[in-house]
Amino acid sequence: MSIHIKILGSRCGSCRRLENNVHRAIREINDRATVEKVENIDEFIRYGIARIPALVINESVFSQGKVLSVNDLKKIIEQNATILK
């Protein structure tokens, strides 16, 4: 099973920074995760997101309302990759 990451947010600066950090983290750990940017407010509601940007990995919400660092994202992605093995 592969890791599927969703970044929920608009085109705001924080949302773009989170998206860039996610892509950088994936490159640095050589993971083959898929990344999807979601801008549909109905999806935000479906996940119970009150603040953007939000990070969803394999349909579980991991953060909302903050830009996670590349190092924090690497840890989260690696932990989820280990769980899936």
pTM summary value: 0.90
pLDDT at 15: 97
Main-chain phi, psi angles of 77, to 5 degrees: -65, -45
How many structural domains are present in the chain? 1
What CATH number corresponds to the domain at position 66? 3.40.30.10
Token digits of residue 43: 């999806």
Q: What are the mean pLDDT values of the chain's consecutive 10-residue runs (85 residues total)?
A: 90 96 93 91 96 96 97 92 61
pLDDT at 30: 78
pLDDT at 83: 64
**What residues pair up with 38 in beta bridges, in sequence order?**
8
Domain ranges, residue 13: 4-84
Average of per-residue pLDDT values in the chain: 92
